[in-house]
A and B are shown apart, each in its own frame.
Chain A
């Protein structure tokens, strides 16, 4: 027996089998117990419940949804809401973050002070506290009756924010969003694969053609999707106790957008600052020597170099920020996580729903990092120039 233990090969195999086996055993116990508990409650396991209707309402939805819709539909609504929130908050966080990061590296004492205060204040307070803070402030805005719209078209009320919108169907808006995404993807692909080999004028011409096609197609899509017998642009109007027409942004969505973009911006600002600090001074000095303006030195030299340096860190940050959108449940914003948790309460199909939640986040997060890694590949310096 002792000789068996001393044989490293046998010992290694045994150790590995024991480790993997114990983890598998743990999962087996989970599944068996859950089955037993389900049967005790008179429920059946499996994904059949997805076809049943939910019977509860969802306050904010991008697609058609009613209480008689199925669980599958409710989960889809949740996923779309999460993606929608991420699609607004993440770019916004990037813009604010880069601005603050630039302020902190500008060399101007006052701008640095403001930037530093912003970062330290918003990075060191929990996100959920910031979210509740903004939500309370938004709810405390005056009621629709007492308010005079800004520029006659924007109204900040305690019931939501009203802005002008287009009278088009949701489907055509979705098509337009897809078109813009496709245009961006195509131009990124061309930027890394095709345009470097072309002459500058040729590349510029191709870019113009690409975006003109996208614009024309988008306009056509909007024209087809027009809701008949309404003006093209709908402007919020006071009617009785509330506003009609236009687009209403609910306080929940607005609070989530503000909180996540500001919290994310504080982190992104730090990353961007590190990137700017890593750009060698020689680059700026060379730009000065060539007589470039300050704006050109910033936009053509320092910013692209800094973004290239910090891109891998930024990718992790986006994945992390997207996970942070689940915080919306604190103020009942119906995102993916909230739909799942409500479904668990209502249907009792715990294991299946947790599996959907985990699978969903794995897919979304891997997609975000895959797409951004392709962006990274497209913009990073190519082999022969790698001198940073």
Chain B
């Protein structure tokens, strides 16, 4: 053992050299990019921190400010509109708690202990019910606030959680139907899924919001918000169904055959053998799908809902604040970045942990 020569330990300097200054060309690239990064960082700090105005209600100061710094005053004055929209001022604590509950539900579903239908489904249903009761009121002495007054971040969260809650079971049904042994069912489902997948989400949303009342008998149309959520869920389900189907295809055929040989019925085979393993295979793309869904909720702005994006525009849209639009976009962008970035990091972590693709 004593004869074994250890490889020389990489010193800090040699690692830096290999990483940043390996060749002359690398040195040039490093210096150029470092200068670029330094310049961008410095102008950003200069704009966003050093020359910025933070105090609320300082619109006049911002207007006269000649340094050209950011006017965060618009955020500190009007953040309530971005988070809660037109929700009544005295009741906004309810909206805040409701959002916190839904975020907690999303965080809890990332804990492996919850990864079974028996735990995940009640978690989401209860969380969603609490969210709805808190937001809508009308029970337990809470004053009623109808959906027309919902807005801001809470509306975004409502649309997202509604879409997931409806879309996930729908996706499982679609995937099973598409995989059906009965040719007509499988083919029809494939046609429906492929058609919806080849259309832009915007056109689906538009169809559900504006066209559906026109082609449905009166009394079945419902509220515009719920129609849009159903449209979203349908779109989500078609993509997610393909992801689940991919997970199922990665399963060795022996798994289902063994279950059949043991005499398990269809629902037992699907529920205990196929789906759990398919979801395990499909976990990284599923998280990715949720990432895309969070971002795409912002499209409802176009058909006139006051989600977090539209509220941001509205908050800086008045004559008093119309010069601070960029600051508002940055603020809304940061809200999305926090949610989406953490979700996509979590997806990358899962991918490494499960080692999917490395086996």
A residues lining the B interface (CB < 8 Å) = 12, 15-17, 19-20, 23, 29-31, 33-34, 37, 106-111, 113-114, 120-121, 123-129, 132-133, 136-137, 140, 294, 319, 323-324, 326-327, 329-330, 337, 341, 344, 350-351, 354, 357-358, 361-362, 365-366
B298 touches A110 (CB 8 A): no
Decide if B37 touches A129 in the complex (CB within 8 Å).
no
Of all A-B residue pairs in the complex, the 7 with the closest CB atoms, nearest first, are A16-B184, A323-B200, A30-B215, A109-B19, A126-B298, A124-B340, A110-B33
**Could you jot down 9 A-B contacts, CB within 8 Å?**
A15-B185, A33-B214, A34-B214, A37-B214, A107-B22, A126-B295, A126-B298, A128-B301, A344-B210
The interface residues of chain A lying within 8 Å CB-to-CB of B200 are 323-324, 326, 337, 361
On whether the beta carbons of B184 and A20 are closer than 8 Å, the reply is yes
A19 CA to B325 CA, complexed, in Å? 51
**B249 in contact (CB, < 8 A):** no
A357: nearest residue on chain B (CB-CB)? B203
Could you tell me the distance in whole angstroms from the C-beta of B43 to the nearest C-beta in chain A? 14
Cα separation A23 to B301 with both chains bound (whole Å): 31
Q: A132, A319, A327: which contacts B202 (Cβ < 8 A)? A: A327
A267 to chain B, nearest CB (A): 10
Chain B 205-226, CB-CB to A under 8 Å as 1, else 0, gives 0110011001111000000000
A128-B206 contact given A136-B329, A358-B199, CB 8 Å threshold: no
CB within 8 A of B333: which of A125, A324, A350? Answer: A125
Would B326 and A109 count as touching, CB distance under 8 A? Answer: no
Residues of B within 8 A of A121 (CB): 337
- Complex CA distance for A248 and B216, rounded to whole angstroms: 45
The answer to whether A326 and B203 touch across the interface, beta carbons within 8 angstroms, is yes
Chain B residues with CB under 8 A of A12: 182
Shortest Cβ gap from B38 to chain A (Å): 11
Would you call B333 and A129 a contact (CB within 8 A)? yes
Give the Cβ gap from B292 to chain A, nearest Cβ, in Å.
10
Within 8 A of A (CB), among B1-55: 19-20, 22, 25-26, 29-30, 33-34, 36-37
Indicate whether A109 sits within 8 Å of B30 (C-beta atoms), given known contacts A16-B184, A20-B188, A326-B202. yes
B344 on interface, CB distance cutoff 8 Å:
yes
In the bound complex, residues from chain A placing their C-beta under 8 Å from that of B22 are 107-108
Determine the chain B residues whose CB is within 8 A of the CB of A106 once the complex forms.
Answer: 29
* Nearest neighbor of B183 in chain A, beta-carbon distance: A16
List residues of B whose CB falls within 8 A of some A CB: 19-20, 22, 25-26, 29-30, 33-34, 36-37, 177, 182-185, 188, 192, 195, 198-203, 206-207, 210-211, 214-217, 291, 295-296, 298-299, 301-302, 309, 313, 325-326, 329, 332-333, 336-337, 340-341, 344
Min C-beta distance of A127 to chain B, whole Å: 7
CB distance from B344 to the nearest CB of A (A): 6
A351-B329 CB under 8 A given contacts A124-B340, A128-B302: no
A120, closest chain B residue (CB)? B341
Q: Nearest CB to that of A325 among chain B residues? A: B200
Q: A121-B337, A361-B203, A362-B198 are in contact. List 5 more A-B contacts (CB 8 A).
A: A17-B184, A30-B215, A33-B217, A107-B22, A319-B198
Q: Which residue in chain A gives the minimum CB-CB distance to B323?
A: A140
Whether A126 pairs with B19 at a CB distance below 8 angstroms is no
Q: How far is the CA of A354 from the CA of B200 in the complex (A)?
A: 12
Q: Is the interface of B mostly helix, strand, loop or mixed?
A: helix
| Nearest CB of B to A355, in Å | 11
Given the interface pairs A16-B185, A330-B301, the reply to whether A125 lies near B313 with Cβ below 8 Å is no
Complex CA distance for A294 and B23, rounded to whole angstroms: 12
Of listed B22, B33, B183, residue having the most chain A CB within 10 A: B33
From A20, A126, A362, give the contact of B195 (CB < 8 A).
A362
> A368: shortest Cβ distance to chain B, in Å?
10
Residue of B nearest to A363 (CB): B198
CA distance A23 to B195 in the complex (A): 14
**Contact between chains at A111 and B329 (CB < 8 Å):** no
For the complex formed, measure the closest distance between the CB of A298 and the CB atoms of chain B, giving whole angstroms.
Answer: 12
Taking CB atoms, residues of chain B closer than 8 Å to A110 are 20, 29-30, 33-34, 37
A140 — nearest CB in chain B belongs to which residue? B326
Residues in B with CB closer than 8 Å to A137 are: 326
Within 8 Å by CB of A125, from B184, B207, B302, B336, lies B336
Distance, CA A48 to CA B25, complexed state (A): 66
The residue that A366 contacts in the complex, of B29, B198, B217, B340, with Cβ under 8 A, is B198
Residues of A within 8 A of B299 (CB): 126, 128, 327
Q: Which residues of B contact A366 (CB under 8 A)?
A: 198
Cβ–Cβ < 8 Å partners of A365 in chain B: 198
B19 interface neighbour in A108, A129, A358, Cβ under 8 Å:
A108
Q: Could you tell me the distance between the alpha carbons of A327 and B195 in the complex, rounded to whole angstroms?
A: 20
Select which of B214, B217, B309, B325 is within 8 A of A350 by beta carbon. B214
Closest to A294 in B: B25
Known: A33-B216, A124-B344, A362-B195. A109 touches B20 (CB 8 A): yes
In whole angstroms, what is the CA distance A324 to B202 when docked? Answer: 9
Set A37, A109, A132, A341: member contacting B329, Cβ < 8 A: A132
CB < 8 Å: which of A109, A125, A136 contacts B340? A125
Please determine whether B203 and A358 come into contact, CB atoms closer than 8 angstroms: yes
B302, A129: Cβ atoms closer than 8 Å:
no
A323–B199 CA distance with the chains assembled, in angstroms: 7
